[in-house]
Amino acid sequence: MAKEWAKSFYKSKEWQECREAYIAEVNGLCERCLENGKVNPGKIVHHIEYLTPDNINDPEITLNFDNLEYLCLDCHNEEHGVGASAEVVRQGLKFNKHGELVER
């Protein structure tokens, strides 16, 4: 669920067009699953650098393909530490497929 300060951005024409173009660019597939040799449809366009009230109006953060990643629900939940498979680690770090702690 979008935070109150981000709701107008996510409803904007600019974001909707960017989102659709990005999904088409990555062929509608979860990018993290593909990195692990799995083919799963994506569900959520995720901002790699999280949106904040300070950067929500910066198109280099909000609308830049280099800051986007298309994820399935499981990968998105894992990113945000939600669900049984999510590991809670320090921000900027994650566990790779070998269980090693690496930078995002």
pLDDT band of 83, cuts 50, 70, 90: low
Tokens of 4: 């109150």
Is 38 a residue whose pLDDT tops 90? yes
Read off the pTM: 0.76
Closest CA to 49 of 28, 79, 86: 79
CB contact at 8 A, 46 and 22: no
Q: Mean pLDDT across the stretch 22-39?
A: 96
Q: Mean pLDDT across the stretch 22-35?
A: 97
pLDDT at 92: 66
pLDDT at 7: 93
